Amino acid sequence: MRVISLASGSKGNVYLVQAGEDAILIDCGLNYKTLSSRLGTATNRDATLSSRLGTATNGDATLLSRLSGILLTHSHDDHTQGLKVFLKHHPEVPIFANAMTAETVIHDCQLDEESFVCFENGQPFELGPFSVKAFSIPHDTSDPVGYLISVPRPASGEQPSEATQPKAAGNSLTYFHATDVGTPLDSIGDQLAEADLATLESNHDPVMLHNSGRPPSVIQRIYGPRGHLANDQAANLVRRFASPRLKKLALAHLSGACNTPHLAETEMRAALREMNRTDIVLKVFAQDEIVEL
């Protein structure tokens, strides 16, 4: 399993999850031109991805049409603003969301409900080789979720090298994805404990946020229990719940005004040292860069 961030931040979010010849997107917060360009760049960088998903041609429409689906975490614009045009080009690609998120996105983006496949939080479902389970997270919108996504472990003789693929416990590799998390609940940590790879929000530095000059109401929204996860909160969640399975970790949805990659990474690396887990590969996802976990 491979995870590539095509965009991560308040201006737009899209993440590619790929296993063999199959791929899904988590969220669709980029305009169609930018999405197709970045996906083409990501696949052309990597011969394996290109051969499995197709050669990037004609605005990379072939790549996008071969997606197994798009998973939505919630209804905010920075996660959904590319959907309408995407579906005009690729109506065959299904959109997966829980009922409340689907209802809100259909209304806000003026989409057809036939494009959506609804799931129930906590109930696993299959999407190609992916087993997907959504779990609830606290954020200021209708029924937001994170995801656990698992794929069968490669058969003996097909196992990629340790340099590119973490070893899994049991018979599957599991990816944890949680952004826009207002409170680091134990229930979220329980999902993180199952992960071999993880993407976790590390949105802001509290000092920078409170010194940002933003209106108090905005600061409270971000810092509040249904806002966004601070660097120290993300580090504490990993400190408390990461299991020996975890081999790769990405920090996501960083604020451009109230955080820096250096601050987020420094906070998390300190936690990993305390845990004696400096073996974990740590990446920081970016708004305008393609980054592979």
Average pLDDT, the chain: 88
What are the angstrom distances between the C-alpha of 46 and each of 175, 179, 283?
21, 26, 18
Helices of type H across the chain: 32-45, 47-53, 61-65, 77-80, 83-89, 99-109, 186-192, 206-210, 216-223, 231-241, 261-274
Confidence at residue 79, expressed as pLDDT on a 0 to 100 scale: 94
Phi-psi bin for 210: left (phi > 0), alpha (psi -120 to 50), beta?
alpha
Stronger pLDDT, 84 or 164, i.e. the higher one: 84
CA gap 210, 244 in Å, rounded = 35
Confidence at residue 155, expressed as pLDDT on a 0 to 100 scale: 65
CA gap 275, 238 in Å, rounded = 9
Across 31-40, 199-208, 258-267, least confident range: 31-40
The average pLDDT across 233-252 equals 97
Confidence at residue 42, expressed as pLDDT on a 0 to 100 scale: 84
Phi-psi bin for 183: left (phi > 0), alpha (psi -120 to 50), beta?
beta
Token pair recorded at residue 44: 């052309």
Is residue 161 within 8 A of residue 147, CB to CB? The reply is no
Q: Residue 237 pLDDT more than 90?
A: yes
| Residues facing 282 on adjacent strands | 249
Q: Whole-model pTM? A: 0.88
The average pLDDT across 84-93 equals 93
The average pLDDT across 105-127 equals 94
Burial 184-206 (b: 16+ CB within 10 A, else e): bbeebbebbebbbbbbbbbbbbb
Is residue 204 within 8 A of residue 264, CB to CB? The reply is no
What are the angstrom distances between the C-alpha of 186 and each of 46, 138, 217?
37, 12, 27
Token pair recorded at residue 185: 């609940």
| Residues facing 209 on adjacent strands | none
Give residue 169's pLDDT band: very low, low, confident or very high (50, 70, 90): low
CATH architecture for the domain at 2-292: 4-Layer Sandwich (3.60)
Max alpha carbon distance in the chain (Å)? 57
Every domain of the chain and the residues it spans: 2-292
Strands 197-201 vs 248-252: parallel, antiparallel or unpaired: parallel
Residue 138 DSSP SS3? coil
CA gap 15, 1 in Å, rounded = 13
